[in-house]
């Protein structure tokens, strides 16, 4: 398959190199990623300055690699429209350094890059791994994606759908299995630490840790039990359950101008 691999950790991040080096043995890989760290940039794109693309050589990779001085969504846009001449079969964003579970997906540049692929009707996967418990086992996440591509036809799931995959930081043999499940809730106790302030301005650094109860049968729940989680996402944020309720409320009050 022809695969575009991107991320939000940057072109030289260990996660993207591990994934690309494993998949290029069986697939036609092009790596297009931000030139620097772009975590938590969400679905932002660059519109007020030109984008610069550079072909780069990454040690250990034979695939074509390009850095872009923009966001992960920029990388997918310009990759599909300008860099890769033929049709892309699958877009994979990752392997992200840290989970993207629950409401993290709203901030994640990793997930947003995959969503950009879905907007172009290219089957897309976002893959992230927990960074707790010492050295990160990127190989575990890469192996799961490799096996998934062998056994699952992602086109059958839908071209405008993102599979959000999260992997526990365990050796591949110790992972219990996988669970297809809902997004959970990921709320943080945000702490703002004052830095280098003076009488004219104040500077804060944000730190946070997850808080709150974990709801059963969600990605947050299963990842803590040692399972890989898979959640199908779609960029249409319409709350269809409330459509009739909202319509009835507006009909009740009549015209509003």
Residue 176: per-residue pLDDT: 96
- In this predicted model, what pLDDT tens digit does every residue of 228-247 receive, in sequence order? 999 999 999 999 999 999 99
In a domain, 207, yes or no: no
Residue 212: per-residue pLDDT: 64
In a domain, 206, yes or no: no
In a domain, 79, yes or no: yes
In a domain, 202, yes or no: no
Tell me the DSSP string of the chain: -EEEEE-SS-TT-HHHHHHHHHHTTTSEEEEEEESS--TT-TT----SS---EEEE--TT--SEEEEESS-HHHHHHHIIIII--SPPSEEEEEEEES---GGGGGT-HHHHHHHHHHHTT--EEEEEE---SSS--HHHHHHHHHHHHHH--HHHH-TT-EEEEEE-SS-GGG--EEEE-B----EEEEEEEEES--SS--EEEEEEEEESPPPTTBHHHHHHTTEEEEEEE-S----GGGHHHHHHHHHHH----
Given a cut of 80, whether residue 169 has pLDDT beyond it is yes
User: pTM score, two decimals?
Assistant: 0.93
In a domain, 190, yes or no: no
Question: How does the average pLDDT of the chain come out, rounded?
Answer: 92
Return d(Cα 177, Cα 159) in angstroms, integer. Answer: 25
Question: Is there a binding annotation on residue 8?
Answer: yes
Given a cut of 80, whether residue 191 has pLDDT beyond it is no
Residue 190: per-residue pLDDT: 74
Given a cut of 70, whether residue 83 has pLDDT beyond it is yes
Average pLDDT for 100-117: 95
Given a cut of 80, whether residue 209 has pLDDT beyond it is no
Average pLDDT for 197-203: 81
- Residue 213: pLDDT band (50, 70, 90) is low
Residues of the chain with pLDDT > 90: what percent?
A: 78
Given a cut of 70, whether residue 67 has pLDDT beyond it is yes
The tally of domains found in the chain comes to 1
In a domain, 30, yes or no: yes
CATH assignment of the domain containing 129: 3.40.1210.10
In a domain, 106, yes or no: yes
> What is the span of the domain harbouring residue 153?
2-183+215-253
The larger pLDDT score, comparing residue 256 to residue 51, is at 51
Residue 194: per-residue pLDDT: 81
Question: Is there a binding annotation on residue 39?
Answer: yes
In a domain, 194, yes or no: no
């Amino acid at each position: 398959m022809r695969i575009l691999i991107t991320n939000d950790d940057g072109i030289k991040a260990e996660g993207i190199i591990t994934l690309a080096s494993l998949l290029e043995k069986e697939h036609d890989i092009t790596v297009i990623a931000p030139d620097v760290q772009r975590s938590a940039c969400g679905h932002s794109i660059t519109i007020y300055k030109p984008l610069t693309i550079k072909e780069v050589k990454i040690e250990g990779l034979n695939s074509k690699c390009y850095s872009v001085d923009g966001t992960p969504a920029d990388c997918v846009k310009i990759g599909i429209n300008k860099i890769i001449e033929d049709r892309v079969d699958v877009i994979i964003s990752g392997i992200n350094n840290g989970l993207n579970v629950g409401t993290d997906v709203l901030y994640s540049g990793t997930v947003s890059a995959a969503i950009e692929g879905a907007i172009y009707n290219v089957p897309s996967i976002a893959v992230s791994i927990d960074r707790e418990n010492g050295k990160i086992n990127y190989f575990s996440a890469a192996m799961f994606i490799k096996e998934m591509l062998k056994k699952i036809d992602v086109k059958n799931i839908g071209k405008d759908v993102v599979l959000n995959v999260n992997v526990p930081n365990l050796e591949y043999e110790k992972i219990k299995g996988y669970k297809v499940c809902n997004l959970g809730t990921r709320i943080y106790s945000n702490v703002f630490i004052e830095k280098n302030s003076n009488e004219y301005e104040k500077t804060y650094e944000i730190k946070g840790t997850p808080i709150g109860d974990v709801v059963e049968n969600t990605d947050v729940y299963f990842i803590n039990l040692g399972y890989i989680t898979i959640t199908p996402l779609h960029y249409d944020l319409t709350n269809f359950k409330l459509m009739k309720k909202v319509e009835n409320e507006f009909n009740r009050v009549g015209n509003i101008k």
